[in-house]
């Protein structure tokens, strides 16, 4: 998880959406694949906080959709993406058509922190 993130949630609701309030970039092998001031932090009971980036601030030209999908009862069906230059499987996921309670996540992507670098600007 990026520096300064909580390791557990203390929120009472199953899901809480909070603006990160700062610019955050994601690097893969030294290359910026996401850079945004509009990052949403999702606090989900039982999970570490997760950063979601607007799709328009992600280098989608480097992303390849995967056939993998999963279902989350709190957010909806997740689609997964590989990125050029990544080692291993999925690098990111997105809720293309989230359930109404998670509608804010439409057109946002989250990244697995493994093999990625997260930088926050103060």
**pLDDT 10s digit of each residue in the chain, 122 long?**
344 444 444 445 689 999 999 999 999 999 999 999 999 999 998 889 999 999 999 999 999 999 999 999 999 999 999 998 887 778 999 999 999 999 999 999 999 988 899 999 86
pLDDT at 11: 44
Q: Which CATH number fits domain 15-120: 3.30.160.20, 2.170.150.40, 3.40.720.10, 1.10.3720.10?
A: 2.170.150.40
* Distance, CA of 58 to CA of 93 (rounded, Å): 12
pLDDT at 13: 64
Residue ranges per structural domain of the chain: 15-120
């Amino acid at each position: 998880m990026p520096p300064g993130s909580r390791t557990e949630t203390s929120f009472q609701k199953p899901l809480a959406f909070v603006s990160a309030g700062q610019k955050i970039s994601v690097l893969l092998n030294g290359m910026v694949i996401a850079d945004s001031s509009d990052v949403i932090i999702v606090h989900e009971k039982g999970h570490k906080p997760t950063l979601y980036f607007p799709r328009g601030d992600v280098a989608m030209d480097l992303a390849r959709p995967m056939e993998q999908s999963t279902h989350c009862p709190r957010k909806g069906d997740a689609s997964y993406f590989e990125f050029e230059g990544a080692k291993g499987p999925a690098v990111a996921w997105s809720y293309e058509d989230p359930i109404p309670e998670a509608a804010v996540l439409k057109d946002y992507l989250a990244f697995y922190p493994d093999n990625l670098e997260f930088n926050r600007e103060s």
